[in-house]
Structure 1
Amino acid sequence: MSSTLIVGIDISSELNAASFIDETGIRLVKKTFFFPNDLDGAQQLLDFTISLAQQYNISSIKFGMEATSHYAWHLHTFLASSPELAPFNPLFYVINPSIIKSFKGAYIHLPKTDSIDAAVIAECVRFGQVKPTPLPDLRYAALQKLTRMRYHIVPSLVREKNRALNLISFKFSTYPSECPFSDIFGKASLAIIENFTPDDIASMPLDDLIDFIVKNGNNRLSDPTQIAKTLKAAANRAYRLHHDLAEANDLALSMTLENIRFLESQLKKLDGEISRQLKAFSQTLTSIPGIGDVLAAGIIAEIGDIKRFNNEAAVAKYAGLIWNKYQSGNFNAQDTSLVKCGDQYLRYYLVEAANCVRVHTVRFKEYYNKKYREVPKHQHKRALVLTARRLIPLIFAMLSKGQIYQERGVASI
């Protein structure tokens, strides 16, 4: 008699498919069980699974499902929270799609259908090469929603700023290269761009231009007179646009700057909430010079409970900061690529953290510079990724043992 029931679930936005096998691979239900991806459908699956378990005198149940976007979240939490399943010691496996795809490749010429995918997921769980997925911690999940949202906003802001630079250059051709302000997107700089053409600046009395700069610079600019002179010189050398084209360019620029201001306001709101939620965690990552609340939160949200990982190498693998190995006979490849898998969000925040830490700490600055000099091409990108990998043991130690950063190591609190 079977003792373990394995349920493979292929999840989609509207309709899920489930396949039921025992630990020997025998299908206990010949037809695929389809159910809606909603609360009623989840209850149908639960009732059917319990009925089947009782029929075959099952002592344990394993549920396998693909980590397809957010679609597995609700079903996983519903089943894991069900008291009716507790007597069957349920285990849940939310599996990376790349693992399922690779596992499916072992079967020759399998078509792509929901029924077959559900059966493949069940077999993947049965073979035992995947680890159970714990019920998500809502604290980490909430923080993760915010840090991942920030991850998606930042590239949008970068794209809008690049577009704005092109439009600014078209309007005032010498401005991007000769901008006298420290930040071309600062308040005073944008006031100049939005209110004046090169002709306006060239013909404006110097004192009037100085007054405008002082007013929009909130009296914080060190030398408004020199800024005004630089602007006039740049305006005299700039190309002039035809009036009709200038109007269209100004409209496009105005809309782009509105997008930038909106995205910056969203980032400010997100950063404030991220900092607030981070206070609920006992963490010391912000003691590392260069790592603030946002970077610490991004790393913590993706790692979750550090006890999930046996060592720092497991964290590196989870982040995808490991390199392929190629060996055959006496040959060992030296030039190998970074594996294209892992948690892209964790990898992003680790690399961003490394980029900040290398500026503020001696040990990581020296390591970055060493790796930068080792190769003639892609120096910065390679050195930065290697520095991120170097940072992981430190992060693992600090999260595991509650330690604070010191330049030559970590110290217990």
Structure 2
Amino acid sequence: MNHIFVGVDLHKRHHTAVFLNGFKRKLGEFKFDNRPSAFPDLIKAAAKVSKGKGVIYGLEDTGGYGRPLAAFLVDHNQAVKEVNPSLASAFRKANPIVHKSDSWDAECVGYVLVDQLEKLPDANPIDHYWAISQLVTTRNSLVREHIGLINQFHVQISYHYPSYRKFFSQVDGKTALAFFERYPAPHHILGTSVEELREFLLKPSNFACSLKTAEKILKLIHSDGTTKRDYQEDRDYVVRSTIRRIQSNKKEIESLEHRIALLLPQTGYRLETMYGIDTVTAANFVAEIGDISRFGSSDKLARFAGIAPVLIGSGDKHKDHKCRQGNRELHQLFYQLACRQIGVKRGSKEPNNPHFYAYYQRKQSEGKTKIQAIICLMRKLTNIIYSLMKNKSEYNMPSSSNLQAGMSMGIKP
């Protein structure tokens, strides 16, 4: 009763704030621009309405459009809570007549703020984690674009070189791109000898190209026959344009990965010490989880990732069901990590992680399906990732001797 509550609906150009008292009665409304110079006006408006009472702000999107406001309020020692958008949406839909406006959205955020004040997490926009998140998001976007370009490149090259897959081990490798940029279609290579082709490919292949490889390429081109058609110059331009974009994308991705590698150690996390986690994967975990102190336990992290089961039932019948909510990006990261742990090395067929492989096999022997066993492993990995981030420690894989000794004593892995 000694506070007023400010629910804020956030947008790209402007924000709308609604002031409520402890009884959820609307005291006023304030609209302001999404720019730092306008943020002090919100504090002044709240102080005018509060008349000496404490002020608590509730923001939905503290990682996107609302991040500058959240950072400003926290820097000015204001109490700020993160309001899950699904909570405000559920409150909006619970009304008999569902409507939507900036003012009503802000009011719904305020209602959630009043009702669940003790449960809502404090907003803590840390620039370091946010910068890593932005780098990871940009890199992932470029990777998706890169995959699309590679697919386009395959289509275009297949028109000109039907046997192109046999030329090089990697179609988008440095040597292959140099070749197709110089010879986008077979008619460009007519009259080129084996020695001349090898001489050209020596530099991009780091002097690994042999006469045998050059001879094989020329034979395959000859066996394919003539593929030249009308408007061939335009088709050649498309191939070269696609190659230039692929090369540019590769450079941007490498540059982003370099910056990520510089920022990541500053967090103190050492996730890369675990098998299956490289610098990029570790950065993805940090981008989705952020500051691990946000989560009071590994159980909360598991619920956030949608890994913990959901209890559904009524009366005397209750059953755990697979959660289909939570952070799906983080869920996918744990799934991929679990698959890497139970994989086996080529040739020797030795498990990548004997400890987790034994755990996975045991779960299947207990009657669980492969997917269920992987979910169990994901839950176990959640505990480990939480511990590694909480303690900023290295991962130590259990030795095979300790594992065998524990199993002989009846200790389950």
In the superposition, the TM-score normalised over structure 2's length comes to 0.82
Q: Give ranges in structure 1 of 5+ residues lacking alignment.
A: none
Q: What is the identity, as a one-letter code, of the residue corresponding to 2:23?
A: T
The SS at the match of 2:267 is: coil
The SS at the match of 2:239 is: helix
User: For each residue in 1:283-329, what CA deviation from the matched residue of structure 2 results, as whole angstroms up to 9, or x when unmatched?
Assistant: 22111123222222221233222222122221122233455555456
* 1:11-410 alignment runs, 5 A limit: 11-29=10-28, 32-54=29-51, 57-58=52-53, 60-67=54-61, 70-82=64-76, 86=77, 90-128=78-116, 130-176=119-165, 178-179=166-167, 181-196=168-183, 197-198=185-186, 204-221=192-209, 224-238=210-224, 240-322=226-308, 326-327=312-313, 338-342=323-327, 344=329, 346-354=330-338, 356-359=340-343, 360-364=352-356, 388-408=378-398
Cα pair 1:141 1:301 within 8 Å, conserved: yes
CA distance in 1, matches of 2:372, 2:38: 48
CA distance in 2, matches of 1:239, 1:127: 74
CA distance in 2, matches of 1:314, 1:326: 18
CA distance in 2, matches of 1:248, 1:188: 23
Cα pair 1:291 1:356 within 8 Å, conserved: no
For the structure 1 residues 232 and 323, does the alpha-carbon distance in structure 2 shift closer, same or farther, using more than 3 Å as the test?
farther
The SS at the match of 2:394 is: strand
The SS at the match of 1:62 is: strand
- The offset of 1:371, in angstroms, is 8.9
Partner of 1:8: 7
The SS at the match of 1:339 is: coil
- The offset of 1:68, in angstroms, is 7.2
CA distance in 1, matches of 2:187, 2:362: 50
CA distance in 1, matches of 2:122, 2:378: 26
CA distance in 1, matches of 2:361, 2:207: 40
CA distance in 2, matches of 1:368, 1:246: 56
For the structure 1 residues 234 and 321, does the alpha-carbon distance in structure 2 shift closer, same or farther, using more than 3 Å as the test?
farther
Cα pair 2:62 2:125 within 8 Å, conserved: no
CA distance in 2, matches of 1:48, 1:295: 44
Tell me whether 226-235 or 99-108 shows the greater mean CA deviation.
226-235
User: For each residue in 1:348-375, what CA deviation from the matched residue of structure 2 results, as whole angstroms up to 9, or x when unmatched?
Assistant: 5445544555554334456678999999
For the structure 1 residues 38 and 318, does the alpha-carbon distance in structure 2 shift closer, same or farther, using more than 3 Å as the test?
same
The root-mean-square deviation of aligned C-alpha atoms, in Å, is 3.3
The SS at the match of 1:403 is: coil
For the structure 1 residues 281 and 247, does the alpha-carbon distance in structure 2 shift closer, same or farther, using more than 3 Å as the test?
same
CA distance in 2, matches of 1:171, 1:363: 50
CA distance in 2, matches of 1:188, 1:145: 32
Q: What is the identity, as a one-letter code, of the residue corresponding to 1:108?
A: P
Counting aligned pairs with the same residue, the percent is: 23
Cα pair 1:171 1:249 within 8 Å, conserved: no
CA distance in 1, matches of 2:149, 2:374: 25
Q: What is the identity, as a one-letter code, of the residue corresponding to 1:262?
A: S
- The offset of 1:70, in angstroms, is 1.9
Q: Give ranges in structure 2 of 5+ residues lacking alignment.
A: 344-351, 400-413
Q: What is the identity, as a one-letter code, of the residue corresponding to 1:191?
A: A
Cα pair 1:16 1:34 within 8 Å, conserved: yes
- The offset of 1:121, in angstroms, is 0.8
For the structure 1 residues 151 and 384, does the alpha-carbon distance in structure 2 shift closer, same or farther, using more than 3 Å as the test?
farther
CA distance in 2, matches of 1:233, 1:382: 51
Partner of 2:408: none
Cα pair 2:83 2:113 within 8 Å, conserved: no
CA distance in 1, matches of 2:45, 2:358: 60
For the structure 1 residues 403 and 135, does the alpha-carbon distance in structure 2 shift closer, same or farther, using more than 3 Å as the test?
closer
Partner of 2:404: none
For the structure 1 residues 160 and 202, does the alpha-carbon distance in structure 2 shift closer, same or farther, using more than 3 Å as the test?
same
CA distance in 2, matches of 1:279, 1:21: 43
Cα pair 2:298 2:382 within 8 Å, conserved: yes
For the structure 1 residues 123 and 301, does the alpha-carbon distance in structure 2 shift closer, same or farther, using more than 3 Å as the test?
same
The SS at the match of 2:206 is: coil
User: For each residue in 1:21-44, what CA deviation from the matched residue of structure 2 results, as whole angstroms up to 9, or x when unmatched?
Assistant: 111212223xx3222222343222
The SS at the match of 2:31 is: strand
The SS at the match of 1:41 is: helix
For the structure 1 residues 268 and 137, does the alpha-carbon distance in structure 2 shift closer, same or farther, using more than 3 Å as the test?
same
CA distance in 2, matches of 1:101, 1:22: 21
- The offset of 1:249, in angstroms, is 2.3
For the structure 1 residues 216 and 34, does the alpha-carbon distance in structure 2 shift closer, same or farther, using more than 3 Å as the test?
closer
- The offset of 1:5, in angstroms, is 0.7
CA distance in 2, matches of 1:348, 1:397: 19
In the superposition, the TM-score normalised over structure 1's length comes to 0.82
The SS at the match of 2:293 is: helix
